[in-house]
Chains A and B, each alone.
Chain A
Amino acid sequence: MRIKFKLDGEYVEVDAKHTDTLLKILKDKLVVGSVHFGCGEGTCGACIVLVNGRPRYSCLTLAGYVDGKEVTTVAGLAHDGELSEIQKAFLENDAAQCGYCTPGMILTAKALLDRNPSPTDEEIFDALAGNLCRCTGYVPIINAIKSLSKKR
């Protein structure tokens, strides 16, 4: 089947099998380096992208589902070489060590802040519940999110 969607603001068209996951299409066909395989079964969050602004495990999303929709990866957040606020906050707070979980974390954090600009601790934990990080111990990631919270 042929699917057409907006990837980081640009229309793309690819051939996909009905059984292909979005992760597979992004990695193999569209050569998106920032979407990572961590488990392939919806348990780690390394593969998260935003579909119409909501975080989704691309490893569990069938490619056909995004037909006509808008997919955002972390590569689509910077504009004209200027990092987005959330990327800057990750950098300032040293929230990326090996960096493998980072794109998924940033996208989850962005989706959270977009719909809830001043999340409580509990809301941050809830939002990050599907994103694992083995390096940072989460505290720098939580701090990065809090640094953008509008309540401060």
Chain B
Amino acid sequence: MVRVRKTRAEIEGRWREEFVVEEEEKISPWPAEASFRYIGGRVKTVDGVAKVTGSATYTVDVSLKGMLVGKFLRCPYPHARILRIDTSDAERMKGVRGVFTFLNVPKIPWYGGLTNILSDVLRFQGEEVAFVVAEDEGVAEDAVEAITVEYERLPFVVDPVEAMREDAPKVHPDGNIFAGGPSKISRGSIEQGFGEADVVLEETFRTSAVLHNSLETHSAVAHWTSIGLTVWESTQAINNIRQRLSQIFSIPLSMVRVVCEYMGGGFGAKFDPGRHTILAALASRMTGRPVKVYLSRTEENLAAGCRAQSIQRVKAGFKRDGRITAMRLEAIINLGAYAEWVPLVGGPYRMLYQIPNLETVEWGVFTNTTPHTAMRAPGFTEGTFGLESIMDMAAEELGIDPLEIRLRNYAEVEPESGVRYTSKALRDAYLIGAREFGWEQARSVRKENGKVRAAGLASVVWWGGGGPPAYAEVKLNMDGTIQVLTSTQDIGTGTRTVLAQIVAEELSVPIERVRVVIGDTSLELFSPGSGGSGTLASMGPAVRAAAIDARNQLLDIASQFLDAPPEILELRDGRIETKEGEKSIRLEDLLRQLRDFAIVGRGARGPNPDGYAVETFAAQFAEVEVDVETGAVRVLRVTSAHDSGRIINKLTAEGQVIGGVVQGLGFALLEQRAVDPASGSIINPNLFDYLLPTSFEAPEIMPVFVEPLDTRANTLGAKGLGEPPIIGVAAAIANAVSRAIDLRITQLPITPQTILEAVKKAKK
């Protein structure tokens, strides 16, 4: 019987209502003691060969007959109005097929209506002014240069604190404050809580805007024909892109197809269509030719999003025994020039500890800088730095071990809602992580020839429960191969591999027989975007349900072939056998006899359980070595202990942890989008001056998985892992460095200069 249920689904802390259609009988979760062939193993990626041989195709590799190339002219100033724009020279150039400006494109609202797809008012350096399509890239570039623009330069503001002043230049006519005021969330009474405190600490923490710098820049190929619009896009959400295109162009969903077979990283920046996508589509509609556009590295770093800069003023009250009595956060979050949402810097403050009296005040502020976008655990990576720094300050002040003070404020139930967790093994993560790291020995500060070693730790909370809607099919082919079909995508986390593992496990076939077909909306099997650490927890249960449905059909059919009741049939190693093994048939022999009848199993992701919170946790430990002479910090090793529920693939899970930790190290020590306050120009929109971690910086990293049995979250018992590994790294490193130099680090990145200045100041 088909049942329809209404449920709530979450991505990165933003909730929406969804209807879910459930067809199958209830599927029970895998039990704790299940013995698996693939689940939980170290399974090599099923698409790894395509990547190491270079046959994996990315959007920039898409090449169609008659394809044109598009290029942008971008605004050189942080804030300007176009007084006059002359495109006539560009239009006359041989090979130019179209020039688009605010004068001749439809007024498509952009960034939630704060501007249009092209506009005469430009609010950040790098904002799109004009778009040229031409027969080849060189011509398009020359044509861009041939456009002349007369700008009126407008007063600008790039600093969020300045932007909050009454008399600051206005980024938008309605002012610089998102939604006109802060988002204020409170519980208990902070006045009373601070009154009860034995110790009250106050500090201001600052994090920098950092850039995703996926190795593949944003790119799209659009082809508009009489049957509709096809877009190849480097994206982490093909279905979202499809819906947006359908809305923007007022064409039915059935006329939009979005494809992304492989993509070179996203980290949050590739959820939505970009202006490049829309303009490529418009140009294709106009010319009848396919249009490709890809951003240069500089364009990527000027206009493709960033992690928002934050300023966190924290006040925290503690009892002598380390229990928190009250906390207040006031956060100022630099959204850049446009935004439709504010990253939840207050998230960890609200969710990590049992804080009886709490107030978080979060200001989203517009400035004339790159619009922010989601970046791996947006808000939480920033907020955790502030929260976990003040926790360490309290530990120092009160003479309590940093690990102990965290255990004393452990949240047994979800602190905001009071509901239980489907599972929470953060305590195990702390204790096992501490043991593996050797916290007892490492926490003492050791000095050796001018270098100081010390350790620090931080805790992590994040969502990552995934949810509906998510649909999949599992198809048993005549030749005994199996196809998994769903229109999800892989951003490099190994989606194909975990889905293949689940099917190989349920159908008891070698994984080599399973082929996962994803990355194309024309499969018409909806999947959510790959974000919020939700892909596995959303798609896995849908795929498992589809595999079970296929298995049930297969056993029904086999029972008639073998003349045995289906209840006594089992799938074993590619064969269907009676329990005692007296009757048996190979899967491919059975399927061959069915000829063209392919068994198709269908599966849907059920809703998350009511009355429970599904969250992921981690405890991260870092050991650093600080050279007090030069200010250089080297991270020696990191232990990252995670509760992400059941781990489906140890190999790729470790990969997520290691990769996330190194990105966190970049946020902690190296990365910073720098703006010149006088001119408002971005100083480092390239990989020469913007420092990414290299192999040299990578420390020794030990991933640990505590794997509680979670039978409530979903039928896999798996929770997300993409984002948690980055969240606490900067805080753990900053805590370690602070202990090493005996001075509190309050700002990221921790550059040699910060250290030397801090040391100098302390000497005075």
Contact = CB atoms under 8 A, between A and B. Distances in A.
A137 interface: yes
Contacts of A38: 215-217, 264, 297
A111 interface: no
Contacts of A43: 297, 686-688
Interface in A131-152: 131-142
B263 interface: yes
B77 interface: no
B492 A129 contact: no
A33 B55 contact: yes
A40 B54 contact: no
A35 B262 CA distance: 14
A78 B654 contact: no
A15 interface: no
Contacts of A139: 658, 662, 698, 700-701
A10 B575 CA distance: 45
Contacts of A92: 44
A96 interface: yes
Interface in B652-687: 652, 654-655, 658-663, 686-687
Contacts of A98: 214-216, 262-265, 491-492
B692 interface: yes
B732 to A, nearest CB: 15
A74 to B, nearest CB: 4
Contacts of B212: 134
Contact of A75 (B53, B493, B654): B53
Interface string B364-397: 0000000000000000000000000000000000
A94 B263 CA distance: 17
B55 A138 contact: no
Contact of B215 (A40, A44, A129): A44
Given A36-B264, A140-B655, A133 B215 contact: yes
A89 B104 CA distance: 54
Interface residues of A, number: 50
Interface stretch (A50-58, A61-69, A100-108): A100-108
Interface string B694-719: 11101011000000000000000000
Given A38-B215, A44-B687, A138-B662, A129 B695 contact: yes
Nearest to A90: B52
A37 B264 CA distance: 10
Nearest to A132: B692
B144 to A, nearest CB: 15
A31 interface: yes
B50 interface: yes
Contacts of B267: 134
Contacts of A103: 54
B695 A33 contact: no
B52 A136 contact: no
Contacts of A99: 47, 50-52, 56, 262, 264, 492
Contacts of A40: 296-297
A27 B660 CA distance: 31
B134 to A, nearest CB: 14
B61 interface: yes
B28 interface: no
Interface in B194-226: 212-217
Contacts of A124: 695
Given A37-B60, A98-B215, A125-B695, A137 B701 contact: yes
A97 interface: yes
B758 interface: no
A12 interface: no
A97 B673 CA distance: 25
B508 interface: no
A46 B688 CA distance: 15
B48 interface: yes
Given A87-B53, A136-B659, A137-B660, A100 B58 contact: yes
Nearest to A78: B53
A96 B52 CA distance: 7
Contact of B216 (A100, A129, A142): A100
Given A36-B215, A132-B215, A134-B214, A100 B264 contact: yes
Contact of A134 (B55, B56, B265, B493): B265
Nearest to B63: A31
B651 interface: yes
A145 to B, nearest CB: 9
Nearest to A37: B60
A41 interface: yes
Contact of A97 (B44, B54, B659): B659
A94 B45 contact: yes
Interface in B96-139: none
A96 B45 contact: yes
Contact of A91 (B44, B56, B663, B701): B44
B53 A83 contact: yes
A74 B701 contact: no
Interface string A68-80: 0000011101100
A137 B492 CA distance: 13
A75 B55 contact: yes
Contacts of B213: 132, 134
B471 interface: no
A102 B55 CA distance: 11
B494 interface: yes
Contacts of A41: 297, 686-688
Contacts of A137: 658-663, 693, 698, 701
A135 B694 contact: no
A129 B694 CA distance: 7
B54 A75 contact: yes
B57 interface: yes
Contacts of B494: 97
A103 B49 CA distance: 11
B695 A141 contact: yes
A78 to B, nearest CB: 6
Nearest to B48: A91
Contacts of A100: 58, 214-216, 264-265, 492
B371 to A, nearest CB: 21
A128 interface: yes
Contacts of A132: 213, 215, 687, 692, 694
Contact of A74 (B54, B294, B654): B54
Nearest to A76: B54
A98 B48 CA distance: 10
B400 to A, nearest CB: 32
Nearest to B491: A98
Contacts of B700: 139
Contacts of A75: 53-55
A75 B50 CA distance: 10
A36 B58 contact: yes
A136 B658 contact: yes
Interface in B214-245: 214-217
A112 to B, nearest CB: 12
B215 A46 contact: yes
Nearest to B659: A137
A101 B45 contact: no
A134 B214 CA distance: 6
B49 A91 contact: yes
Contacts of B217: 37-38
A34 to B, nearest CB: 2
18 contacts: A33-B55, A34-B53, A36-B58, A36-B216, A41-B297, A44-B687, A46-B216, A75-B55, A77-B53, A78-B53, A96-B51, A99-B47, A100-B214, A132-B687, A138-B695, A139-B698, A140-B658, A142-B698
The 4 closest A-B pairs by CB, nearest first: A34-B54, A98-B492, A100-B264, A99-B51
Given A41-B686, A74-B54, A135-B492, 4 more contacts: A44-B687, A87-B53, A92-B44, A134-B215
